[in-house]
Amino acid sequence: RVTSLGAESRAVSTRIESKDAYQYAGNTVTVSWWAKLGTGTGTTGCAINLPGAEDNFSSTTLTHNFSSVGTANTTWQKFSVSFVLDAGAVNGFQITINVGGGATGACKFTGMQCELGSVATPFEHRPYGLEWSLCRRYYRRLSGSSGTPFGSGTNISTTQAIAYVIFTNPMR
Protein backbone atom coordinates (compact mmCIF):
# COMPACT_ATOMS: atom_id res chain seq x y z
CA ARG A 1 0.00 0.00 0.00
CA VAL A 2 1.38 3.38 -1.01
CA THR A 3 -0.23 6.48 0.53
CA SER A 4 0.02 10.00 -0.84
CA LEU A 5 -1.05 13.33 0.62
CA GLY A 6 -1.63 14.92 -2.76
CA ALA A 7 -1.95 14.20 -6.47
CA GLU A 8 1.72 13.40 -7.12
CA SER A 9 2.93 10.10 -8.53
CA ARG A 10 3.29 6.98 -6.35
CA ALA A 11 5.54 4.09 -7.31
CA VAL A 12 6.89 0.72 -6.21
CA SER A 13 10.06 -0.86 -7.57
CA THR A 14 11.83 -4.19 -7.53
CA ARG A 15 15.23 -5.25 -8.78
CA ILE A 16 15.95 -8.47 -10.63
CA GLU A 17 19.51 -9.65 -9.94
CA SER A 18 21.83 -10.69 -12.76
CA LYS A 19 21.69 -14.38 -11.79
CA ASP A 20 17.95 -14.30 -12.55
CA ALA A 21 17.92 -11.62 -15.27
CA TYR A 22 19.92 -13.45 -17.94
CA GLN A 23 16.89 -15.49 -19.03
CA TYR A 24 14.91 -12.32 -19.81
CA ALA A 25 17.61 -10.37 -21.67
CA GLY A 26 16.85 -10.02 -25.39
CA ASN A 27 13.48 -11.76 -25.03
CA THR A 28 9.84 -10.68 -24.98
CA VAL A 29 8.83 -9.97 -21.40
CA THR A 30 5.43 -9.20 -19.86
CA VAL A 31 5.09 -7.17 -16.66
CA SER A 32 1.65 -7.28 -15.04
CA TRP A 33 0.10 -5.90 -11.87
CA TRP A 34 -3.19 -5.04 -10.19
CA ALA A 35 -3.90 -1.52 -8.92
CA LYS A 36 -6.64 0.17 -6.91
CA LEU A 37 -6.99 3.75 -5.71
CA GLY A 38 -8.72 5.04 -2.58
CA THR A 39 -10.37 7.89 -4.48
CA GLY A 40 -10.26 9.38 -7.96
CA THR A 41 -8.42 8.07 -11.00
CA GLY A 42 -4.80 8.09 -12.10
CA THR A 43 -2.72 6.95 -15.04
CA THR A 44 -0.66 3.84 -14.30
CA GLY A 45 2.58 2.97 -16.02
CA CYS A 46 5.75 0.94 -15.90
CA ALA A 47 9.43 1.79 -16.37
CA ILE A 48 12.47 -0.45 -16.83
CA ASN A 49 15.96 0.65 -15.80
CA LEU A 50 19.26 -1.15 -16.30
CA PRO A 51 22.09 -0.88 -13.75
CA GLY A 52 25.41 0.79 -14.55
CA ALA A 53 27.24 -2.46 -13.76
CA GLU A 54 26.33 -5.99 -12.71
CA ASP A 55 23.85 -5.74 -9.83
CA ASN A 56 24.99 -2.14 -9.15
CA PHE A 57 21.91 0.08 -9.17
CA SER A 58 23.63 3.22 -7.83
CA SER A 59 23.22 4.66 -11.34
CA THR A 60 20.71 3.34 -13.86
CA THR A 61 19.65 3.94 -17.45
CA LEU A 62 15.98 4.15 -18.40
CA THR A 63 15.43 1.74 -21.31
CA HIS A 64 11.64 1.42 -21.41
CA ASN A 65 9.05 3.94 -20.23
CA PHE A 66 5.40 2.98 -20.57
CA SER A 67 3.91 6.12 -19.00
CA SER A 68 0.28 5.39 -19.86
CA VAL A 69 -0.64 1.70 -19.65
CA GLY A 70 -4.15 2.47 -18.39
CA THR A 71 -6.26 4.38 -15.88
CA ALA A 72 -6.53 3.09 -12.33
CA ASN A 73 -9.64 3.87 -10.27
CA THR A 74 -11.36 2.70 -7.07
CA THR A 75 -11.85 -0.91 -8.21
CA TRP A 76 -9.14 -3.55 -8.63
CA GLN A 77 -7.94 -3.66 -12.25
CA LYS A 78 -5.22 -5.68 -13.95
CA PHE A 79 -2.66 -3.92 -16.14
CA SER A 80 0.10 -5.41 -18.30
CA VAL A 81 2.70 -4.40 -20.82
CA SER A 82 4.85 -6.58 -23.11
CA PHE A 83 8.16 -5.59 -24.69
CA VAL A 84 11.54 -6.94 -25.78
CA LEU A 85 13.98 -6.44 -22.92
CA ASP A 86 17.40 -5.11 -23.90
CA ALA A 87 20.26 -7.60 -24.12
CA GLY A 88 22.09 -5.47 -21.52
CA ALA A 89 19.64 -6.73 -18.91
CA VAL A 90 22.05 -9.61 -18.21
CA ASN A 91 23.47 -7.26 -15.53
CA GLY A 92 20.04 -7.09 -13.86
CA PHE A 93 17.11 -4.73 -14.26
CA GLN A 94 14.71 -2.67 -12.19
CA ILE A 95 10.93 -2.59 -12.68
CA THR A 96 9.03 0.46 -11.42
CA ILE A 97 5.22 0.53 -11.44
CA ASN A 98 3.52 3.85 -10.79
CA VAL A 99 0.24 5.72 -10.66
CA GLY A 100 0.27 9.39 -11.64
CA GLY A 101 -1.70 12.49 -10.70
CA GLY A 102 -5.41 12.84 -10.24
CA ALA A 103 -5.74 10.34 -7.41
CA THR A 104 -5.54 11.11 -3.71
CA GLY A 105 -5.36 8.90 -0.66
CA ALA A 106 -4.30 5.27 -0.68
CA CYS A 107 -2.91 3.54 -3.74
CA LYS A 108 -2.68 -0.25 -3.60
CA PHE A 109 -0.68 -2.62 -5.80
CA THR A 110 -0.73 -6.42 -5.75
CA GLY A 111 -0.06 -9.45 -7.96
CA MET A 112 3.00 -7.91 -9.63
CA GLN A 113 4.96 -10.28 -11.84
CA CYS A 114 7.49 -10.36 -14.64
CA GLU A 115 7.48 -13.32 -16.99
CA LEU A 116 8.78 -14.49 -20.35
CA GLY A 117 6.42 -14.23 -23.31
CA SER A 118 3.75 -11.81 -24.47
CA VAL A 119 0.87 -13.07 -22.31
CA ALA A 120 0.19 -12.10 -18.69
CA THR A 121 -0.68 -15.32 -16.88
CA PRO A 122 -2.70 -15.50 -13.63
CA PHE A 123 -0.77 -14.70 -10.47
CA GLU A 124 0.32 -17.84 -8.64
CA HIS A 125 -0.83 -17.74 -5.02
CA ARG A 126 1.37 -20.03 -2.96
CA PRO A 127 0.83 -21.14 0.64
CA TYR A 128 2.65 -19.13 3.31
CA GLY A 129 4.72 -22.14 4.37
CA LEU A 130 6.06 -22.60 0.83
CA GLU A 131 6.92 -18.89 0.49
CA TRP A 132 8.68 -18.99 3.87
CA SER A 133 10.66 -22.04 2.81
CA LEU A 134 11.70 -20.37 -0.46
CA CYS A 135 12.73 -17.17 1.35
CA ARG A 136 14.94 -19.15 3.73
CA ARG A 137 17.14 -20.05 0.74
CA TYR A 138 18.52 -16.48 0.93
CA TYR A 139 18.92 -15.83 4.63
CA ARG A 140 19.31 -17.82 7.80
CA ARG A 141 19.94 -16.26 11.19
CA LEU A 142 22.12 -18.21 13.58
CA SER A 143 21.62 -16.98 17.12
CA GLY A 144 21.68 -18.08 20.68
CA SER A 145 23.49 -17.37 23.88
CA SER A 146 27.22 -17.87 24.26
CA GLY A 147 28.05 -21.54 24.13
CA THR A 148 24.87 -22.58 22.32
CA PRO A 149 25.82 -25.13 19.64
CA PHE A 150 24.77 -24.42 16.04
CA GLY A 151 27.12 -26.70 14.14
CA SER A 152 30.11 -28.96 14.39
CA GLY A 153 33.67 -27.76 13.97
CA THR A 154 37.07 -27.02 15.37
CA ASN A 155 39.17 -24.03 16.28
CA ILE A 156 42.05 -22.99 14.04
CA SER A 157 43.57 -20.54 16.50
CA THR A 158 42.55 -18.55 19.55
CA THR A 159 40.56 -16.14 17.31
CA GLN A 160 39.36 -18.35 14.42
CA ALA A 161 37.25 -21.47 14.01
CA ILE A 162 35.67 -23.54 11.25
CA ALA A 163 32.15 -24.83 11.75
CA TYR A 164 29.93 -26.97 9.57
CA VAL A 165 26.29 -25.91 9.67
CA ILE A 166 23.42 -27.91 8.19
CA PHE A 167 20.69 -25.63 6.88
CA THR A 168 17.11 -26.87 6.74
CA ASN A 169 16.79 -25.42 3.24
CA PRO A 170 19.54 -25.32 0.57
CA MET A 171 20.98 -21.81 0.33
CA ARG A 172 21.29 -19.94 -2.97
pLDDT tens by residue, 88-108: 899 999 999 988 866 666 888
Q: Which residue has the higher pLDDT, 166 or 46?
A: 46
Average pLDDT over residues 107-118: 93
Q: Which residue has the higher pLDDT, 74 or 164?
A: 74
Model confidence band, residue 8 (pLDDT cutoffs 50, 70, 90) = low
Distance in angstroms (rounded) separating the CA atoms of residues 16 and 18: 7
When computed from its CA atoms, the radius of gyration of the chain, rounded to whole angstroms, is: 21
Q: What are the helix (H) ranges across the chain? A: 18-21, 128-135
Q: Give me the pLDDT at residue 75, please.
A: 94
Residue type, 69: V
Backbone angles phi, psi at 168, to 5 degrees: -70, -25
pLDDT in tens, 39-73: 888 889 999 999 999 999 999 999 999 988 999 99
Position 156 pLDDT exceeds 50: yes
Average pLDDT over residues 151-162: 86
pTM of the model: 0.73
Sequence-distant (≥ 6) Cβ neighbours of residue 22 within 8 angstroms: 90
Position 139 pLDDT exceeds 60: yes
- What is the number of other CB atoms lying within 10 angstroms of the CB of residue 98? 22
CA angle centred on 69, ends 68 and 71, rounded to 5°: 80
Q: Give me the pLDDT at residue 5, please.
A: 46
